[in-house]
């Protein structure tokens, strides 16, 4: 196992997030069974006090969870020079069977944590704890994932053996392979580009309509997730080729390298933030009829939708700029 400050930080984050989520889960379980806002019982009064403390602690823990995704990817990228065969984060994540599962769990938890934090923000604006059951229900759903992430990440870091010869991104993101990554890499550029921009137009249309008609929430949430998936696919299928100016290099992680101006961070940060905002806006809009939130939700949802559209706009704008400025020609 390698021990670096970043690995220690990631393990500490995983430990504190898991610990906090587990502690909060036991309170959440009691809360879901016994919460009764109309009652003045001792149990209810105690739950009301505890929810305030627990929400505050979870705010810090889940905020750290958001940052841990960035730190994890950055760490994987920075360790690439220490493993034979690794050219970028792909090789480091490929060292054992737990690298990519850790990354996937971190991505899922990133969106769930962002959703929880935004639900909590809205709940705090209602005087009668309007979303308390929703957010603690979500917390219970997140708890097993947080534990799993901590276990898988620990297994991954424990299995980082410097003598292992790993495979580079060229083999995983090759159009000739049989993995999902290879499938994406084998897409031809024209339909992929069409789908990429069609998705942007569709989401923009849904987003503008959603700002006016809040009942379109589920559609906007689904649209944001779909756009995220299409964007990742597009990065692998053609955007990476334009950046590297190489028709066979499909790696989505090499974009994070200094040699490419760290352009990956500029692409991924708005993309992830926009998806989290879009997903949360769609979910939060569902609670617009709760009496204590009627005056709050329209403003919050419009703000989040604006943020999501701005984030996607930034991503698409940068992607388009990279395509236009590239010396590679994929289309006739």
Footprint on this chain of another protein (rule: CB under 8 A): 37, 40-42, 44-45, 48-49, 52, 124, 127-129
Nearest approach, Cβ of 37 to another protein (angstroms)?
Answer: 7
To the nearest whole angstrom, how small is the minimum distance from the Cβ of residue 297 to another protein? Answer: 17
Measured from the CB atom, the residue of 68 and 120 that comes closer to another protein is: 120
Residue 304 near residue 312, CB atoms below 8 Å? no
**CB 289, CB 217: distance < 8 Å:** no
**86 vs 131 by CB, closer to another protein:** 131
Look-up: residue for tokens 């054992």?
A: 96
Residue 230, burial from CB neighbour count under 10 angstroms (0-12, 13-18, 19+): buried
Q: Residue 82, CB half-sphere, CA atoms under 13 Å: how many? A: 15
Q: How far is CA 19 from CA 23, 40, 57, 58, 135, in A?
A: 6, 30, 11, 10, 18
Q: Which is nearer to another protein, 37 or 329 (CB)?
A: 37
Smallest separation, CB 228 to another protein (Å): 33
d(CA 91, CA 86): 4
Evaluate whether 224 touches 278 at the Cβ level (below 8 Å).
yes
Min separation Cβ 41 and another protein, Å: 6
If you ran DSSP here, which 8-state letter would residue 260 be given? G
User: Shortest approach of another protein to residue 123 CB, angstroms?
Assistant: 9
Q: Which is nearer to another protein, 122 or 206 (CB)?
A: 122
Nearest CB to another protein, comparing residues 35 and 197 = 35
Residue 144 C-beta: closest distance to another protein, Å: 29
Return d(Cα 114, Cα 111) in angstroms, integer. 5
Q: In this structure, are residues 237 and 192 in contact, taking their beta carbons and an 8 Å threshold? A: yes
Q: In whole angstroms, give the CA distance from residue 81 to residue 169.
A: 14
- Comparing CB distances to another protein, the nearer of 37 and 180 is 37
| Number of Cβ atoms within 10 Å of the Cβ of 58 | 25
Distance in Å, CB of 201 to another protein, minimum: 41
CB of 5 or CB of 40, closer to another protein: 40
Q: Please, which residue, 126 or 207, has the CB nearer to another protein?
A: 126
Token pair recorded at residue 209: 């309509």
CB of 38 to another protein, least distance (A): 9
Q: 116 Cβ partners below 8 Å, 6+ apart? A: 58, 62, 135, 138, 139, 142
């Amino acid at each position: 196992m390698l021990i670096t400050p970043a690995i220690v930080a990631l393990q500490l984050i995983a430990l504190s997030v898991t610990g906090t989520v587990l502690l909060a889960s036991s309170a959440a379980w009691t809360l879901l069974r016994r919460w009764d806002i109309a009652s003045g019982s001792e149990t209810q009064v105690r739950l009301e006090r505890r929810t305030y403390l627990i929400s505050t602690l979870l705010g810090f823990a889940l905020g750290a969870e958001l940052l841990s995704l960035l730190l994890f990817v950055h760490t994987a990228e920075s360790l690439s020079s220490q493993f034979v065969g690794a050219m970028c984060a792909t090789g480091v994540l490929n060292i054992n069977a737990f690298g990519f599962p850790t990354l996937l769990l971190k991505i899922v938890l990133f969106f769930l944590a962002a959703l929880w934090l935004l639900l909590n923000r809205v709940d705090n604006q209602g005087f009668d704890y309007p979303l308390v059951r929703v957010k603690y229900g979500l917390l219970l759903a997140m708890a097993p994932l947080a534990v799993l992430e901590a276990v898988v990440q620990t297994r991954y870091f424990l299995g980082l053996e410097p003598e292992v010869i790993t495979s580079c991104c060229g083999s995983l993101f090759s159009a000739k392979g049989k993995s999902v990554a290879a499938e994406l890499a084998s897409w031809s550029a024209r339909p992929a580009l069409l789908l990429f921009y069609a998705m942007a137009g569709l989401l923009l249309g849904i987003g503008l309509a959603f700002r006016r008609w809040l009942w379109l929430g589920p559609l906007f949430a689904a649209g944001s997730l779909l756009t995220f998936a299409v964007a990742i696919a597009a990065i692998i299928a053609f955007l990476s080729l334009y950046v590297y100016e190489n028709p066979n290099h499909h790696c989505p992680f090499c974009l994070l390298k200094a040699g490419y101006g760290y352009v990956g961070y500029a692409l991924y940060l708005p993309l992830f933030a926009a998806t989290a905002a879009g997903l949360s806006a769609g979910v939060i809009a569902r609670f617009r009829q709760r009496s204590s939130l009627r005056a709050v939700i329209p403003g919050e949802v419009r703000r989040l939708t604006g943020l999501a559209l701005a984030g996607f706009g930034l991503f698409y704008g940068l992607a388009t700029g990279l395509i236009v400025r590239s010396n590679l020609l994929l289309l006739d």
